[in-house]
Each structure stands twice: as structure tokens, then as C-alpha cells.
Structure 1
């Protein structure tokens, strides 16, 4: 995370707790590990802060993360996350809808960014088949006339996606041309990360069955790490992000080739041994 606040030396504990509230307000639910990384302190220190804030009624814990008490459940969290960096997510969706070729078999995991990709595929009337574990994406696309294959499994409320052994087994016999994966964090040191082990496992299964792996993430997800690794950085073929990420990507991968720029988004090609565009 990029730090833009500094704890007060007069009252560092109270100041840090106030900063935690500000972070949760602007970024949404975060894990203890993410907060500890931000403040460069131990998870035990953050846990004490969280307990203090929880006693005051300012925050609540759910699904391995903490959120402001006003976030009443997974459905609210999804809607609020969809509003954060909404224009960036729309731009990412549009550039991928423009780049993905006709007749491609495309995998999409759950999340607000991949939901934006699905909406833009629908708006562009792309002739594709989508394989997804996200119930909301399946409903959206099937209503719009796009062929959809839904992965089975237990439904996880935050992103309306199926997880667990059934979901992973459902992918074993499938082949995908492209998979577009959303994530909570992207960093070349720790790769692509997410907040739950189950989501990470399904993301890995998607990647293993696909010829090409694209990470879709706005600038707020870059240089950020969540608890569970989905993929190593060298397993990512392309990165679709918004234009505010240009300097970050240049620092990570000077050899990265911009495949396409479209409105306020950029699609970067990270692996030179793959062609720039699927035919």
C-alpha cells in the first residue's frame, strides 16, 4: 500500500487506530496481515488495535478480514467494492473486451473487476464462451446471450463465487484459451494474492487449465499483498490495469510491452515467448 498518513508521535496508538479506520473507509475490508504490512508492525500489535476498535463498535470482523461496522455483510461489501475505482474497473473491462478475440473460451473468477470485464464483453457483443465460478457473472452473461459454463461448488458470499474441491475438480477436464483473474494484491515479489485460501486455490486451477493468464487489477491493487498466494509473478502472462499504474509497471518490468491502450487502461504483455495477440 502507498502510505499517505503518518502516526502522531504524541499518541501513536490512538493515531494508528484512527489511520486503520481511514484505511478501511477508503479501501474496504482488509486482513490483519495487510494492515501489519502497511504499518510495518506485528500482527499481534494490529490485533490489539482491532480488538480495541471492535469494543468501541467502530469495526467488525468477517471472512478473515476486518471492515467498518457500517459494512453489514458480504452483499454490501461487494456493492461498495464495485463503487471503488469504478471508472478504472470499467476501463479495464473495455480494453479486455476489445482485445479478446471472437470465439475465445474465456475464464473469469469472481470479483468486482472481473464482473466489469463481463459487463463489457456483453456490451461489446463479443462472441465468446465464458467459464466462470461467479454466480452473478453467469447470470449476467446468460441473460445477455453469451454462452456460459458454470463451475460447481460451495458458494462463497463475498464475491458470489463457488469454491472448494468440487469447483477445482470441475475445471480439471476443461481447456481455456484465456483466463482473466481478479485479485486483492499484485506484487512481483509475492505474486498475485487474495484474502482466502479457497479463492487462491480456484484461481490456480483456472490458470493451470488456460493457455494464457491475464491479471485484471486497478492501481490500488498494485504493490499490495494479501495473505494467500494465488500465482507466482512469473506465471502471469499479461496485466490489464489503469493508466495510473504506468510508472509502477515500468519499475516492475521494464521489458513489459504495452499491447494496447484504450481510454484510461493499458494491457501489458509480460512474457516475450507468447504472441502479443491470440488469433
Structure 2
């Protein structure tokens, strides 16, 4: 189903862009190969996918010439050829230890955390996923009362106790992953399987429209899937720097998420694509100022 929605979206966007550029097409004819290839990369940066037949019409050159262009760009590592066209190359996000992740894109994470905190009320019960953005969410809950926080993250448990008045913290035991401040494994999953909460606040290492949300390890992916299974509302906190990237293990698609909160550094292209996704989540843009 997700693939069908994605294909339909790409076809719609493809048509819209070509219509918008029809009056500019004459300016793109007669280009040298290097100039044409730069234009191809510019189009890919806008919509992540191109078709040979459309490019041939747009540039006024043969499909054979366009295939040569795409082959050369692929050899340079600038795109990936597919049947009938090419797609943009997504970046793979390397895994960071907790302390390094906390300091990166801090303003964006604070903005997301503050926006997420506005969805929480006194006496709520919630799951809180491990992550640097969810840590900022917990810090933004200062002043709330009588919250029940269920988490597998040491730092989140500690901050919950510090900032939330009369907080009830349920810490999920298991195997500690050194350098990351969270527990994983069968014991963690077993403990979580006995619990439920109306809302889960989730984090991710990467997101792409083609692959969905992903994380670096299978154990953590299984934990996040269990958080989704044991809750009704699924709120994803997404730092926009993670859009257009992927890691090792997929754990959710956009259709699995109820609300997605992203910072206002998001590109206009990605914002529109998120908001136009059929059956997608409610989108909240968190102001950074």
C-alpha cells in the first residue's frame, strides 16, 4: 500500500514539475553534456526521481543520450539508475554515542521537544523512546504534574524525576548498551509487553520517503515496534537533518505514525511532500525561534 501511494505521488509530482517548466524547456535545449547533467541533478534534488523519457523531452535530446548522462552520473556516485530513469542517492547516517548526539542540532531538538510537550497534560501516561530529541521533550515537560513515564533510557528516567513534579517513572530493565544509556533485549521486550499507554513519543535515527523510519540495531527496532503496538497514538519527533537518509533496520512507515513533529529547518520540498502524503500523519512544524 505504501509503495502504491509513493508511486502515485511521484507520478503526480513529476507531471506538476514538467507542466511548471514547460515554458522554460526551450532554455534547456542545446546544452553541453556537463551542463545538462548539472540540470539533471538539480531536478533530482527537487523530486528525488527522474524518468528518461521525460528528460529526453525536456532537454530535446535522445533517450540514448540521456541514458549516457545517467550512466556517467552513477559512475561518479551522484545518483542511482533504475529501470527507465534514476533516483537520488540517500545518505546513510552513522551511529553516534549518546553524548555526541545530544549536542548535535540542539536548537532544532529543543524546538521539537517544546512542541511535543504541548501535547501532554497533567496525569497523562506515556511511553518515551530513547533518544536525544525525546530527552529534550522530557526537559520541556517541566511544570507538569503526576505524569507516568515509561522508558528504557537512563537519562530520560533521571530527567523525568528531576523536572516533573510527583512523577511516576517506570524503567524497563534489560541489557545495557554501553555508550547509549538505554536497555534492550528480550528482558526489555518482556517488561514492555505487560504495559500499555495511550501515547508513545518516538525517536528515529533516519527517515526517507522510500524506506520509512530506520534505526541502527535490530534489538532497538523491535523495541520501537513494540512501543507502537502497545499504544494508540504514535508521535514521532523528527530532527529534519535526518530526512532523506537511512540506517540498517526499518521499524515504521509514515502510515504507522499519528503525529509527526519536525523543526522549521525542514526544506519546503520535504514539508510539502509530508503534508501531501495520503493517509499520512498530522504534521506539526516546531518553530525554532
1:97 to 106, 109, 117: 117
Confirm whether residue 250 of structure 1 aligns to residue 243 of structure 2: no
Separation in structure 2 between the aligned mates of residue 189 and residue 78 of structure 1, nearest angstrom: 27
Confirm whether residue 128 of structure 1 aligns to residue 152 of structure 2: no
5 Å matches for 1:16-27?
Answer: none
Where does structure 2 lack aligned partners over 5 or more consecutive residues? Answer: 1-76, 81-92
Residues paired across the two proteins, number: 197
Give 1:264's aligned residue. Answer: 288
Q: Mean Cα displacement is larger for which, 210-219 or 255-264?
A: 255-264
Confirm whether residue 207 of structure 1 aligns to residue 231 of structure 2: no
The alignment's TM-score, normalised by the length of structure 1, stands at: 0.64
Where does structure 1 lack aligned partners over 5 or more consecutive residues? Answer: 1-37, 42-64, 68-73, 266-279
1:252–1:81 distance in 2 versus 1, CA, 3 Å: same
Cα offset for 1:158?
3.5
Q: Encode CA deviations 1:246-278: one digit per residue, 9 max, x unaligned.
A: 62131134156766555339xxxxxxxxxxxxx
The alignment's TM-score, normalised by the length of structure 2, stands at: 0.62
Confirm whether residue 82 of structure 1 aligns to residue 102 of structure 2: yes
Give 1:196's aligned residue. Answer: 217
Give 2:180's aligned residue. Answer: 159
1:156–1:40 distance in 2 versus 1, CA, 3 Å: farther
Tell me, yes or no, if the aligned pair for 1:212 and 1:237 is still in contact at 8 Å: yes
Q: Mean Cα displacement is larger for which, 97-106 or 178-187?
A: 97-106
Cα offset for 1:66?
6.2
SS of match in other structure, 1:198: helix
Separation in structure 2 between the aligned mates of residue 175 and residue 83 of structure 1, nearest angstrom: 32
Q: Encode CA deviations 1:116-156: one digit per residue, 9 max, x unaligned.
A: 111111x2435421100001111221233421111111011
SS of match in other structure, 2:232: coil
Cα offset for 1:104?
1.9
Tell me, yes or no, if the aligned pair for 2:125 and 2:148 is still in contact at 8 Å: yes
Give 2:159's aligned residue. Answer: 140
Separation in structure 1 between the aligned mates of residue 216 and residue 78 of structure 2, nearest angstrom: 18
Cα offset for 1:182?
0.9
Q: Encode CA deviations 1:45-71: one digit per residue, 9 max, x unaligned.
A: xxxxxxxxxxxxxxxxxxxx968xxxx
Separation in structure 2 between the aligned mates of residue 249 and residue 66 of structure 1, nearest angstrom: 24
Give 2:252's aligned residue. Answer: 231
Separation in structure 1 between the aligned mates of residue 138 and residue 194 of structure 2, nearest angstrom: 23
Give 2:135's aligned residue. Answer: 115
Cα offset for 1:99?
1.7
Separation in structure 2 between the aligned mates of residue 150 and residue 217 of structure 1, nearest angstrom: 24
Structure of greater Rg: 2
